[in-house]
Structure 1
Amino acid sequence: MGVLFSIVLPVFLLVGAGYFAVFLKLFKDSAADGLMVFTQKFALPCLLFSGIASLDLGAELDLWLLAAYFGSAATCFALGILGARLLFGRPWTDCIAIGLTAMFTNTVLLGLPVTERAFGAEALGPNYAIIAFNAGFCYLIGITSMEIARAETTGFALVRTVADAMFHNSLMIGICCGFVVNLTGLPIPAVVQDALDLMIRAALPAALFGLGGVLYRYKPEGDMALIAMLCVLTLAVHPLLTWTIGTYGGLSTGQMRSAVITAAVAPGINTYIFADMYGVARRIVATTVLIGTALTVVGASVWLMILP
């Protein structure tokens, strides 16, 4: 277990460094926002572009891999909604934001570095295959469900609302550009690739430090039973269902590692952005992101011990 902690802990030490840097006023809260803007709008899109552009689509885009991860994600979305409604009596709009939090894991800022630390950069192919569809899948389900629950957008306007949210997202733009290069075989000039590599090396460390700084503002408070339910769904049920479906589908060892570890990490900041955009369940989602990120240290270590 000590060896496993040595794999996972450095990732969260960076998050903790950002958290305490803001707490001790060594790093301004506004600077953490700026760092997250840099990583999410520039550095991480470069990372995803490069990863998708060089991805062996024939080898990595396996239907059972996608079914294992996204089938379990959709199930957690439904369970989150039902739990929030039936057990806690939350309004439907709150339930949608809570359901999205149950399925939208932090595939980039946590899933990638934990997998890379554990199994090496060459093991990230299945991660990129999942990431390529994750934001689109979650936004499609979440925004469509929310707009229906609010009954304010229908028909073509609903399609436009969903598309606008997805394709104004920098991470989605990076993914789409990566697919264009991959499918067309367009060469990337060496000088451009060198610049991308410089940006990519900064992406994950800066993003993890910035994530910690941003998380400082979300104080753990209120609705702890509902938050506990969300943590169980996202940190235990999601990876367990992924492992079950993946076992049935005969996923390779590498695919199973990437899918389960990605499913076992905390919800991402995007879940809070979604809740804030609609003005619902903000405190619940923010606290779940904070507590779930801390608990991922233990959860990811347990799954690393279980996986081959």
Structure 2
Amino acid sequence: MLDILAITGPIYLCIAAGFLATRFGVFSKADMRVLGKFVLNFALPALLFSAVSQRPLREVMHTDYLLAYGLGSCTMLLGGYAWARWIDKGEKTYRAYFAMGMCCSNSGYVGYPVVSLTLGAIAPVALALNMVVENLVKLPILMSLADASEASSEGHRRSVWRVLGDTLLGLLRTPMLVAILAGFVCSMLGWHLPGPFGRTVTLFSQATTAVALFVIGGALVGLRMQGKRRTVGKIVIGKLLLHPLCVFIALMWVVPISDPQLRTAALLFAAMPMLGIYPILAQRHGHEDVSAAALLATTVASFFTLNLLLWVLKHYPLA
């Protein structure tokens, strides 16, 4: 068990450092937002570009991974949305955020460090594939559902497809997706950045892990769970237990992933807490309080579930 804690320990110590530094005033919440923007706009795009561009296309484009991870995640998305609509009978716009909390992993801030320490060189490739599924499939669908529900509630007629197209165009302009697409082009054509530019990209990419985890810790300061425990509990169970279960079923029996390391990476990424900007996205429709509470609870609970999963994978690998 100590060797597993050696993997997860630094991850949660970095998160704790960010929490304590913000809690005791070394950094403010505004500082965390600035650091988060640095990660989203510079460090992570540099990491993704390096991961994709420096490998032959056949080593990067794993359609089995995309299909298995996408199928498992979309199954959880539909299940979460259906539960919020027909079982909980939740408010229209919140149904999308309820599902988002269950199916959208924190691949960049928490997932990549864990998978990198566990599996090594395959982690950046899996991260890039995850980002494709997150940004081109799940987030456009979820944000479109929320926006279409809001328009419907206000009496405006705006189809889900129209909203989906607008959302997708907006996401295509994000630095992370631009970096992935540029990386695919360089990989396909065999291009390499000139020495100084390549080393600059590498320097930015090396800043990703520590800064991203530090930002997650700072973002947890001030979050509360009062009055939201039942809803939060459902999201925690969906994200940390049901999402990895859906991905596990997909990658083992529906669309088997041929590479054992990528199988493990897909399962680990699915077992991460939800994406760190979850409350920020939910703020758009006034659901930031319960989303922030879910982020806090899931991040704390993931310390135990991830360590348990790593222990299981150590003794029963996905060979």
TM-score normalised per structure 1: 0.92
Matched residue of 1:278: which SS? Answer: coil
Correspondence for 2:303:
297
Question: 1:289 Cα deviation (Å)?
Answer: 1.2
Check whether the contact 2:78–2:99 (CA below 8 A) recurs between aligned residues.
yes
Check whether the contact 1:77–1:102 (CA below 8 A) recurs between aligned residues.
yes
Which of 24-33 and 174-183 deviates more? 174-183
Tell me the distance in 2 between the aligned counterparts of 1:158 and 1:35. Answer: 30
Tell me the distance in 1 between the aligned counterparts of 2:234 and 2:134. Answer: 22
Picking from 231, 234, 244, the partner of 1:229 is 234
Q: Is 2:213 the partner of 1:208?
A: yes
Tell me the distance in 2 between the aligned counterparts of 1:301 and 1:47. Answer: 26
Equivalent positions of 1:23-38 (< 5 A) are 23-38=23-38
Picking from 281, 289, 292, the partner of 1:283 is 289
Correspondence for 2:197:
192
Which of 194-203 and 144-153 deviates more? 144-153
Matched residue of 1:26: which SS? Answer: coil
Correspondence for 1:264:
271
Deviating 4+ runs (over 4 angstroms): none
1:143 and 1:218, CA in 2 relative to 1: closer, same or farther beyond 3 A? same
Question: 1:6 Cα deviation (Å)?
Answer: 1.6
Matched residue of 2:207: which SS? Answer: helix
Count of residues in Structure 1 that have an aligned counterpart in Structure 2: 307
Correspondence for 1:41:
41
- Letter of the 1:99 counterpart: A
Question: 1:17 Cα deviation (Å)?
Answer: 0.6
Picking from 169, 172, 175, the partner of 1:170 is 175
Task: Note the residue ranges of structure 2 that are not aligned, 5 or more in a row.
Answer: none
**Residues 171-210 of structure 1: per-residue CA shift (max 9 Å, x gap):** 2222222223223333211111111111111122111111
Tell me the distance in 2 between the aligned counterparts of 1:155 and 1:232. Answer: 28
Question: 1:156 Cα deviation (Å)?
Answer: 7.4
Question: 1:72 Cα deviation (Å)?
Answer: 1.4
Equivalent positions of 1:14-93 (< 5 A) are 14-93=14-93
Check whether the contact 1:55–1:125 (CA below 8 A) recurs between aligned residues.
no
**Residues 117-138 of structure 1: per-residue CA shift (max 9 Å, x gap):** 1122345433332223322212
Check whether the contact 1:55–1:182 (CA below 8 A) recurs between aligned residues.
yes
Question: 1:160 Cα deviation (Å)?
Answer: 4.5
Instruction: Please give the root-mean-square deviation of Cα atoms over the aligned residues, in Å.
Output: 2.0
Correspondence for 2:140:
140
Q: Is 2:256 the partner of 1:246?
A: no
Question: 1:278 Cα deviation (Å)?
Answer: 2.6
Check whether the contact 2:122–2:261 (CA below 8 A) recurs between aligned residues.
no
Tell me the distance in 2 between the aligned counterparts of 1:246 and 1:163. Answer: 26
Which of 121-130 and 106-115 deviates more? 121-130
Matched residue of 1:267: which SS? Answer: coil
**Residues 15-74 of structure 1: per-residue CA shift (max 9 Å, x gap):** 111011111112222211111111111111111111122244324433332222111111
Check whether the contact 2:122–2:262 (CA below 8 A) recurs between aligned residues.
no
**Residues 195-241 of structure 1: per-residue CA shift (max 9 Å, x gap):** 11111111221111112112213223322111111111111111112
- Letter of the 1:290 counterpart: L
1:39 and 1:103, CA in 2 relative to 1: closer, same or farther beyond 3 A? same
**Residues 233-289 of structure 1: per-residue CA shift (max 9 Å, x gap):** 11111111211221114323101111000000000123222211232x221211111
- Letter of the 2:260 counterpart: T
Tell me the distance in 1 between the aligned counterparts of 2:160 and 2:272. Answer: 35
Tell me the distance in 2 between the aligned counterparts of 1:68 and 1:250. Answer: 7
Check whether the contact 1:221–1:283 (CA below 8 A) recurs between aligned residues.
no
1:124 and 1:218, CA in 2 relative to 1: closer, same or farther beyond 3 A? same
User: Percent of aligned pairs with the same residue?
Assistant: 21
Task: Note the residue ranges of structure 1 that are not aligned, 5 or more in a row.
Answer: none
- Letter of the 2:242 counterpart: V
Which of 218-227 and 34-43 deviates more? 218-227
Check whether the contact 1:124–1:258 (CA below 8 A) recurs between aligned residues.
no
Q: Is 2:146 the partner of 1:161?
A: no
